[in-house]
């Protein structure tokens, strides 16, 4: 799973994010959003992927960061010393080790979006785009798209599911992971905007909502980068370096 731009990544590089500085109004829509796909599974193995929840990850990240700053102030008697425009606080390696000792492994990055495909090579096509917004695995109770893939026209075709992280950029091109955005309702709104815009622009044949009307509420360039092992099997790939403009 991805590490880059997750909370674990920042700790490894000696920083803690100042989460109240990650606001939706700071996102530069012209620089856009990057969806990084680095997990791909045959659809029948989807339950091997832990259920993803933006809300769950958002809460875990906020709780971890709050406790980490509490360790800095209580046990090391350090002033936070945060400049007004900073989003990252430099933290000494000794303190990082103590944070990880007390709080254990930081929450992993969230995979809030997934893409289902049918077919292989040049015949592979995107058939569904969805958001992983539930704490309960949607596929464990019979996902509608998975059931539709039993239709005769999909017989003999391989089916795969790709999971992606979502990261935004500010005016200085600093990274703003979706699960850092404050408050949670704004992060949730951004995810809905991405899902609606992707479906409206890509028109996956098994989606049933967002196809006939544009429900996106925010203009944004979206770059989809596929780093999964399946992408490396061939030069051309369904989800390799797509650029989409979502408009409201």
Q: How sure is the predictor about 75, in pLDDT bands with cuts at 50, 70 and 90?
A: confident
Greater confidence (13 vs 241) lies with: 13
Give the pLDDT mean for 155-177: 93
Q: How sure is the predictor about 234, in pLDDT bands with cuts at 50, 70 and 90?
A: very low
Q: Which residues of 184-210 are buried (b: 16+ CB within 10 A; e: fewer)?
A: eebbbebbbbbbbbbbbbbebebbeeb
Give the pLDDT mean for 222-248: 70
Q: How many whole angstroms separate alpha carbon 182 and alpha carbon 171?
A: 17
Torsion of CA 90, 94, 95, 101, to 10 degrees: 130
Give the pLDDT mean for 48-64: 91
Longest dimension (CA), the chain: 66
Q: How many whole angstroms separate alpha carbon 80 and alpha carbon 172?
A: 23
What tokens were used for 65? Answer: 């960061």
At residue 84, the pLDDT reads: 64
């Amino acid at each position: 799973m991805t590490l880059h731009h997750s909370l674990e990544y920042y700790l490894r590089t000696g920083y803690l994010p100042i989460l109240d500085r990650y606001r939706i109004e700071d996102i530069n829509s012209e620089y856009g959003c990057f969806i990084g796909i680095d997990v791909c599974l045959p659809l029948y193995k989807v339950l091997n992927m832990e259920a993803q929840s933006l809300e769950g990850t958002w809460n875990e990240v906020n709780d971890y960061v709050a406790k980490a700053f509490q360790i800095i102030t209580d046990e090391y008697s350090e002033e936070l010393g945060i400049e007004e425009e900073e989003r990252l606080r430099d933290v000494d390696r000794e303190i990082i080790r103590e944070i990880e000792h007390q709080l254990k492994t930081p929450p992993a990055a969230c995979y809030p979006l997934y893409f289902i495909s049918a077919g292989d090579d040049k015949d592979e096509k995107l058939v569904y785009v969805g958001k992983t917004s539930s704490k309960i695995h949607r596929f464990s109770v019979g996902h509608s798209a998975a059931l539709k893939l039993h239709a005769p026209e999909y017989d003999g075709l391989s089916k795969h599911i790709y999971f992606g992280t979502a990261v935004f950029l500010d005016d200085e091109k600093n990274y703003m992971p979706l699960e850092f955005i404050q408050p949670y309702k704004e992060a949730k709104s951004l995810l809905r905007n991405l899902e609606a815009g992707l479906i409206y622009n890509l028109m996956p044949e098994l989606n049933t909502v967002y196809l006939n009307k544009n429900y996106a509420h925010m203009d944004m360039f979206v770059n989809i980068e596929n780093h999964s092992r399946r992408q490396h099997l061939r030069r051309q790939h369904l989800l390799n370096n797509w650029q989409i403009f979502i408009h409201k």
